[in-house]
């Protein structure tokens, strides 16, 4: 009986060591994966900041105005406005 208990204890110890090693290996793998995701998220955040700065630079009104005038566009003049009649008072529309 004592021999069976010893063999069982040794097998249990070996199995525990194997499970502990597997958990340790998986933990290291997951830590590397999380680190890679964190680096990717930080790089993406920096890329977004750069793109926002570029958009703000390109959307400057003085820059757009100069480019528009270069291709022949000009600000709208008062004579170009036209009044649009109210859709509710348009002829042929029935009142509820």
The CA-atom distances, in angstroms, between 46 and each of 8, 39, 41 are 57, 11, 9
Q: Give the pLDDT confidence of 56-70 residue by residue, as tens digits.
A: 999 999 999 999 999
Question: Is pLDDT above 90 for 28?
Answer: yes
- Tell me the domain boundaries of the chain: 18-73
Q: Give the pLDDT confidence of 34-43 residue by residue, as tens digits.
A: 999 999 999 9
pTM of the predicted protein model: 0.55
Rg of the chain over CA atoms, in angstroms? Answer: 37
């Amino acid at each position: 009986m004592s021999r069976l208990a010893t063999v069982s204890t040794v097998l249990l110890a070996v199995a525990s060591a194997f499970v502990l090693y597997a958990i340790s290996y998986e933990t290291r793998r997951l830590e590397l994966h999380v680190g890679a995701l964190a680096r990717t998220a930080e790089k993406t955040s920096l890329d977004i900041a750069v793109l926002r700065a570029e958009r703000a630079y390109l959307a400057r009104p003085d820059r757009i105005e100069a480019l528009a005038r270069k291709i022949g566009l000009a600000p709208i003049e008062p004579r170009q406005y036209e009044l649009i009649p109210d859709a509710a008072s348009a002829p042929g529309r029935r009142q509820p």
